[in-house]
Each structure stands twice: as structure tokens, then as C-alpha cells.
């Protein structure tokens, strides 16, 4: 019967460390579990623990263990939004005021609401809440945050508040593009320092793939190509 420590290491995927050289800094991403978590946070930075676990179909304890490991090795950074910890690639370097917005867009509900406002401008929260399967109260709460950040404009029409894309939305989308470009450049340098021989490929889905090599094995790390908001069309 395996001891508790062995069972826990098996649960969190520490068996994958056999592919690595002990004590080498490059070992931190040489785990498929960590790669999946890191990739998720590159696409949805400022995510919370449980949504990450749910999206990836992983146990929250396992995810928490690997988040801690990658934060200790400075591949990830942690912030606080509403009393909850959120995680993002350290090389993304978002401004402090942008972290709550990124956290909102990391949630399915935030993306669904903003996408609906862009596609069907002028609706009230009560009109489009049923279309995305959210309560009116939840929609109003999120759109208040969006309005405070300039992503959404509220126009009073008699007794109704109608929602339109705000002037700050294209500015924020451009800012995420700049953050992403900077992140990729810094991440490539970090991986090179860790002797992972990174090479960039561009696949048919418009994602950047970074090819990593260690110990005679190849690994692929998939990153968003040019925007953190590919689900949003502003044209």
C-alpha cells in the first residue's frame, strides 16, 4: 500500500518529474499538468483557482499545488480581486488597475456579456440575460464593473438602461495586444535562460506554439497569437 506522501505525489503528477534533471530551473514547465495550467492562464490571465480546475477537468488541490510551484519559480504571479487570489503569467505584467478587468474576462459570464453587448448593442440587462442564461442581477453587477472601466456605456432610455460598447473597449483590447507581445518576448528570454531552446511556430488556428526541448524530448506550449480577446469582434 503506497504511503500518503507517495499517493499525493502521484495525484499531483509529480511522477512527470522523472523526465527532468533534478535541481535544474527548466524543470518547472516539463510537466504536462503544469503546461496545461500555464497555457490556460496565457489565454485567460487573472483566473481563479476553481474556474481553472473546472475548465481543465482537474482536481482543485492538484491545480493549487502546481500554481504554487509555478509562482515560486516566477513563471506565474498572483493578485487579489475581491478577496480571491487570481493567477497570471508573470511575464504578462498587467497594470494593477487592469487585473480586475482581466479577472472578469477570464470568467465565462464576463466574456458572454461583453460579446453580447458588442453583437447586440442597445439591449437592456433584462433583455439579454435570458439569452446567455444569466440572472438579471448577475448581468447588472458585471456591467457596472464594465462601465466603471469604460468598456460599456449605459444610455438611459426612459425607465430602461441600454448597454452599448464603451469608448474604452477598443483601447483595452489594444492594450491586451501590447501585453501579449511583451509577454511572449520576455517568456522566450526566460525559456532560453532555462536552456529550453525555445522556437516559435504559428499553427492554422492562429496560435503561437513554442517548441521546447529538454533531455532529448520535445514539448509544445500553445499561446494566443495576437490578442487576449479573440472571441470579440470590434470591426
Cα dihedral 71/74/76/77 (nearest 10): 80
**pLDDT score at 200:** 80
**For 99, phi and psi rounded to 5 degrees?**
-65, -45
**What does pTM read for this prediction?**
0.85
Topology adopted by domain 107-166 = Arc Repressor Mutant, subunit A (1.10.10)
Find the helix or strand (DSSP H, E) in which 81 lies: strand 76-81
CATH number of 4-93+182-224: 1.10.10.10
Q: Dump pLDDT digits (tens) for 49-68.
A: 999 999 999 999 999 999 99
CA–CA gap between residue 103 and residue 61 (Å, rounded)? 21
In this prediction, residues 138-150 reach a mean pLDDT of 91
Same fold, 4-93+182-224 and 107-166: yes
pLDDT (0 to 100) of residue 219: 81
Residue written as grid cell 525559456:
191
18-41: per-residue pLDDT in tens?
334 444 444 588 888 999 999 999
For the chain, the domains span 4-93+182-224, 107-166
- The pLDDT of residue 98 is above 90: yes
pLDDT at 114: 93
Measured between alpha carbons, how far is 54 from 151 in angstroms, rounded to an integer? 27
pLDDT of 17 above 50: no
Kindly state the average pLDDT of the residues 214-233. 81
User: What does the pLDDT read at residue 226?
Assistant: 82
Amino acid at each position: 500500500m503506497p504511503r500518503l506522501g507517495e499517493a499525493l505525489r502521484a495525484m499531483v503528477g509529480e511522477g512527470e518529474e522523472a523526465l527532468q534533471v533534478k535541481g535544474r530551473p527548466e524543470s518547472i514547465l516539463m510537466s504536462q499538468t503544469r503546461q496545461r495550467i500555464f497555457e490556460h492562464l496565457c489565454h485567460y490571465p487573472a483566473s481563479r483557482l476553481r474556474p481553472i480546475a473546472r475548465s481543465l477537468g482537474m482536481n482543485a488541490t492538484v491545480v493549487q499545488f502546481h500554481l504554487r510551484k509555478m509562482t515560486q519559480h516566477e513563471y506565474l504571479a498572483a493578485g487579489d480581486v475581491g478577496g480571491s487570489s487570481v493567477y497570471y503569467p508573470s511575464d504578462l505584467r498587467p497594470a494593477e488597475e487592469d487585473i480586475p478587468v482581466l479577472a472578469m474576462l477570464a470568467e465565462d459570464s464576463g466574456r458572454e456579456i461583453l460579446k453580447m453587448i458588442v453583437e447586440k448593442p442597445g439591449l437592456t440587462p433584462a433583455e439579454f440575460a435570458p439569452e446567455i442564461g444569466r440572472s438579471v442581477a448577475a448581468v447588472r453587477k458585471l456591467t457596472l464593473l464594465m462601465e466603471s472601466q469604460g468598456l460599456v456605456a449605459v444610455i438611459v432610455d426612459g425607465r430602461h438602461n441600454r448597454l452599448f460598447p464603451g469608448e474604452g473597449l477598443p483601447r483595452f483590447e489594444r492594450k491586451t495586444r501590447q501585453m501579449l507581445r511583451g509577454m511572449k518576448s520576455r517568456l522566450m528570454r526566460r525559456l532560453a535562460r532555462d536552456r529550453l531552446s525555445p522556437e516559435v511556430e504559428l499553427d492554422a488556428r492562429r496560435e503561437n506554439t513554442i517548441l521546447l526541448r529538454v533531455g532529448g524530448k520535445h514539448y509544445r506550449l500553445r499561446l494566443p497569437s495576437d490578442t487576449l480577446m479573440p472571441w470579440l469582434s470590434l470591426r
